Structure 1
Amino acid sequence: MTEYLIALALSTLPAIGSILGGWWAEYLALSNRNLSLALHAAAGIALAVVGVELMPQILQANPPWLVILAFVGGGGFFVVIRWLIKWIQNRVNKVKKKATAWLIFLGVGVDLFSDGLMVGTGSSIAFGLGLILALGQIMANIPGGLVTLASFKEKGVSRKQRRIVFLGFLLPTLLGTTIGYWTVRGQSELIKFVLLAFTAGILTTVVIENMVPEAVAKEKETYKETFTFVGGFALFALLSIYLG
């Protein structure tokens, strides 16, 4: 039970990233340049999580084709979820535009759930792995929280309701961690690697299909964005080396 509680504590770190982004949207000036830089940094960190920490772990599995299939399945899962959210959004927009902000929150919630799943699974393998994965998602989740709270402000949602949204960022990660931890607890290493590969597929697809296109759309790309992207990757690599 102590290990589970530690995993839950670690799972609050990805949510803290979203909360920091929401705080930024509430109290600091928001510009396309700032958002683009944040998204580039988040994309670099997220890719480093997959390339530096997750892939070396999951490629130890035997047979390797199974974890590669799980990786593809994670990407496919995210594509389906994104399509479903957009389909619902198009339907709801015709009736009530305020619902758009809640659908953005739903999309961020799916991302946070996968983070919790990853942290819970990683923690069942080793505390250090769970810690590194959780730390990596703090910065990576700031843009999601920023966009979500900015959308709620734009739609005229009250400050009280926006505070509830802040707390709501915790729920998906706690749920994902709980499912991830207890699903793989006592299972073979292969099951753990398959679940990690699944979440790695989700994370990679989020970066390629969401973060990078959105970052480029926000502001014309310059050397600052490029160095921010590379810097985000390097930052997580350093954390992995010295804290892993």
Structure 2
Amino acid sequence: MDSIWLVLGLALFPALGNFSGGLAAEVSRVTGRHLNYALHGAAGLVIAVVAVEIMPRALDNLSGWVIAVAFALGGIAYTGIEKFVESLYTRRGKQEDNSQTSVWMIYIAVSIDLFSDGLLIGAGSAVSPSVAIVLATGQVLADVPEGFATIANMKDKGISRSKRLLISASFAIPVLSATVFAYFVLRNQSEALKLAALTFTAGLLTIAAIEDMISEAHGSGEDTHISPLAFIGGFVLFVLVSEGLGSVMP
């Protein structure tokens, strides 16, 4: 892709999707059950990103031990981030305030997902413009429920509106920074290194979806028969959109 500005424009798609979801949470009345469904749907979408966009590429081009190591390192890195956040609240005498810790772990989980979106878009731009467009457009749907769930969760925890809006806008930072990184660093590297980086991100995303999004969904409201359907719906939606875009793009 010839222009970094075009790549950055594509990278804004996921950020805008996330922000629009946050605005929807701001103007609507959000119950614990709504939050439960949104988080289940967001988790399904994140798992779909890993299962549909990242892992098939890795399995086709990397050896098993590289995939295993990269994925494990990603999961370990996320666990380390979680421990670091918890230690910050412990040092501030807020160890008992688990709700605040969970809010920021959700924020980190979404930031990691957006960072991975940037890696996907930046690395995809090195292959062809159509690949980058498919990846960017596909991520939008994944980020709308994530943005909704994140802001709804912060409303539920008493975070002020001005801070919520600032946080929602700040999600543009990880996706843009990752896109710039991938564009200037990964695009000139070997295919194996690009895919190893994406597999590392897959480890981050998987732990984020299971340990924080689903856990927070269970804490926000009691599961109903719709909760797993929301997870399935998120997964299926991303698969269909990704497949549809892939079939119409050159």
Shorter chain as denominator, the TM-score bin is 0.7 to 0.9
Report the counterpart of residue 208 of structure 1 in structure 2: 210
Aligned with 2:222 (options 203, 220, 223): 220
Report the counterpart of residue 197 of structure 2 in structure 1: 195
Q: State how 1:14-25 maps to structure 2 within 5 Å.
A: 14-25=14-25
The answer as to 2:60 corresponding to 1:67 is: no
Distance across 2 between alignment mates of 1:66 and 1:131: 28
How far has the Cα of 1:22 moved from its partner?
2.1
Question: Where do 5+ consecutive residues of structure 2 fail to align?
Answer: none
User: Does the aligned pair in 2 maintain the 1:121–1:196 contact within 8 Å?
Assistant: no
How far has the Cα of 1:189 moved from its partner?
0.9
Equivalent position amino acid for 2:68 in 1:
I
Equivalent position amino acid for 2:24 in 1:
W
Distance across 1 between alignment mates of 2:215 and 2:161: 30
How far has the Cα of 1:220 moved from its partner?
1.9
Distance across 1 between alignment mates of 2:11 and 2:33: 30
Pick closer, same or farther for the CA change 1:166–1:220 going to 2, 3 Å.
closer
Q: Which moved further from structure 2: 81-90 or 186-195? A: 81-90
Question: Where do 5+ consecutive residues of structure 1 fail to align?
Answer: none
User: Does the aligned pair in 1 maintain the 2:42–2:146 contact within 8 Å?
Assistant: no
Distance across 2 between alignment mates of 1:166 and 1:156: 12
Pick closer, same or farther for the CA change 1:105–1:43 going to 2, 3 Å.
closer
User: Does the aligned pair in 1 maintain the 2:32–2:220 contact within 8 Å?
Assistant: yes
SS at match of 1:9: helix
Distance across 1 between alignment mates of 2:114 and 2:62: 29
Equivalent position amino acid for 1:193 in 2:
L
What's the C-alpha RMSD, in Å, of the aligned pairs? 2.8
Percent of aligned positions that are identical? 37
Q: Which moved further from structure 2: 170-179 or 147-156? A: 147-156
Equivalent position amino acid for 1:63 in 2:
S
User: Does the aligned pair in 2 maintain the 1:33–1:219 contact within 8 Å?
Assistant: yes
| TM-score (ref. length: structure 1) | 0.84
| TM-score (ref. length: structure 2) | 0.82
Q: State how 1:94-113 maps to structure 2 within 5 Å.
A: 94=94, 100=100, 103=104, 107=108, 108-113=110-115
SS at match of 1:29: coil
How far has the Cα of 1:26 moved from its partner?
1.9
Report the counterpart of residue 131 of structure 1 in structure 2: 133
Report the counterpart of residue 116 of structure 1 in structure 2: 118
Q: Which moved further from structure 2: 114-123 or 52-61? A: 114-123
Pick closer, same or farther for the CA change 1:50–1:147 going to 2, 3 Å.
closer
Distance across 2 between alignment mates of 1:92 and 1:141: 32
Give the number of aligned pairs.
240
Pick closer, same or farther for the CA change 1:148–1:208 going to 2, 3 Å.
closer
The answer as to 2:102 corresponding to 1:76 is: no
Residues 108-128 of structure 1, C-alpha deviations (whole Å, 9 max, x = no match): 434432332233223323444
Distance across 2 between alignment mates of 1:74 and 1:227: 28
SS at match of 1:141: helix
User: Does the aligned pair in 1 maintain the 2:82–2:105 contact within 8 Å?
Assistant: no
Distance across 2 between alignment mates of 1:16 and 1:229: 22
Report the counterpart of residue 173 of structure 1 in structure 2: 175
Pick closer, same or farther for the CA change 1:154–1:43 going to 2, 3 Å.
closer
Distance across 2 between alignment mates of 1:193 and 1:87: 32
User: Does the aligned pair in 2 maintain the 1:20–1:142 contact within 8 Å?
Assistant: yes
Residues 158-204 of structure 1, C-alpha deviations (whole Å, 9 max, x = no match): 63x55443432212210011112221122111111111111111111
Pick closer, same or farther for the CA change 1:201–1:123 going to 2, 3 Å.
farther
User: Does the aligned pair in 2 maintain the 1:38–1:142 contact within 8 Å?
Assistant: no
